[in-house]
Amino acid sequence: MIHKKCVSLPRIIKTTWHHHEIIHNYFFQKQELEKHGCGICFGELLMKYGSYDCLKQDCNFVAHVDCAMEKYLATGQINDQDEESSENLASITCVIEMNQHGEATKIKHFSHEHDLTLDNKIKEDNDKRCDACMLSISTSFYYCSQCEFLLHKTCVELPRKKHHWFHESLFTLHVENTFQCGLCYHYCSGFAYHGNNTYKFCLRCVGISRIIPRQRHKHTLFFDFDLNKGQCNACGDYIHRGYKCKDCTFVLHVKCMALPQRARHKCDKHFLELTFHDENADLEEYYCDICEGQRDPNHWFYHCAICDNSAHPKCVFGKYPFLKKKIGETYKVWNHHHPLICVKKSYDICLRCGLPCQDIALECKSCNFTLHFDCLDLEDLVAF
Ligand SMILES: [Zn+2]
Ligand SMILES: [Zn+2]
Ligand SMILES: [Zn+2]
Ligand SMILES: [Zn+2]
Ligand SMILES: [Zn+2]
Ligand SMILES: [Zn+2]
Ligand SMILES: [Zn+2]
Ligand SMILES: [Zn+2]
């Protein structure tokens, strides 16, 4: 027997949950996938009911009909290629010059008023950051010859519009001054994808899948919109939305999922490696070599095996790793009526903690005070 409502189901749909088109079958066909469960809710799949299966032969995605229909985008054939390369969706608004390999060497980009030039000389430079994703530049990038503005080649080529599994609305790329990312909750500068006028996602988070096969945990993790319980297994902080294990009680913040495998900090001349468990079982207490505070050996930390330095991730990156901290940049805070300006200081005392500001700091020129970036409260900052 087949329900009336099932007869009228669209045959081929594209859902926000999966990057390929899926096709409706009245009976669950791919028997060998039974043990995988539904690719959306992870619940059991039963032979006698219908399902939506991925059209691609080598893809194992299968979903309950109700789960697929809950968040589908459109019926019929959608061509991904058309979607991503069509002219009005490109971030490069004009190619001015090309080299013999067909690479755009001089371009106009929607995010910047001046022309940008390609630089393929790859060098490790920790001080140069991409103005889109705020990460350091170590691969090909575009630069502005009239002002200080850099973009990774990969960030230049991002589509203006794209779909994201988080919400069925089309996400559009914008340039932001300061915003709070709806996935990692970091305050960020640079580019953001906006969805439904409500969500703003940073470029580091927007590429993370909803389902993460065994990488940083022994089982598959999937994003849960309403976790609302417990502590993150990586950092120990409260977690209300994030990744959850399909098979055990493991939960993880998006910001912890997004931690890079290697990082640098001035406390050590080598790269620090992200480590998931402290094997040093004979220690009674564990400390962070940056803040000298205690460390839970079951939480993730950064480690240099050569120098035996260990540190909290939050100490390695500081409180606002993705805010543009360029000299002359201004910031609005809700509890002060003047904007704060980013300056380089060598001795001024911080208004909050009383310690000297020895590097980049915030200053109010009108009231004559200085503040460490990290002494700014998260809530103080106003997105503008
Ligand atoms: Zn970038
Ligand atoms: Zn410029
Ligand atoms: Zn984010
Ligand atoms: Zn965490
Ligand atoms: Zn698990
Ligand atoms: Zn620490
Ligand atoms: Zn070292
Ligand atoms: Zn002031």
Q: What is the pLDDT of residues 286-345, one digit of tens each?
A: 999 999 999 999 999 999 999 999 999 999 998 888 988 888 888 888 778 888 899 988
- Assess whether pLDDT exceeds 50 at residue 384: no
Q: How confident is the model at residue 35 (pLDDT cuts 50, 70, 90)?
A: low
**Using CA of residue 202, residue 206, residue 207, residue 211, what is the dihedral sign?**
positive
Q: Taking Cα atoms as reference points, which of 330, 291, 359, 381 lies closest to residue 127?
A: 359
Q: How far is the CA of 320 from the centre of ligand 4 (A)?
A: 16
Lowest-pLDDT range, 10-14, 19-23, 26-30, 178-182?
26-30
Does the ipTM surpass 0.90?
Answer: no
Please give the class, per CATH, of domain 87-156.
alpha beta
Q: Given 3.30.60, 3.40.50, 1.10.10, 3.30.70, which CATH number is that of 259-323?
A: 3.30.60
CA distance 159 to 359: 36
Ligand 2 is an ion; residues with CB less than 5 A from it: 114, 144, 146-147, 149
Question: Looking at residue 1, what is its pLDDT?
Answer: 62
Q: How far is the CA of 109 from the centre of ligand 2 (A)?
A: 11
- Assess whether pLDDT exceeds 80 at residue 21: yes
Question: Looking at residue 380, what is its pLDDT?
Answer: 64
- Assess whether pLDDT exceeds 90 at residue 178: no
Q: What is the pLDDT of residues 216-250, one digit of tens each?
A: 899 888 888 888 778 999 999 999 899 998 889 99
- Assess whether pLDDT exceeds 50 at residue 122: yes
CA distance 353 to 35: 56
Q: How far is the CA of 107 from the centre of ligand 5 (A)?
A: 46
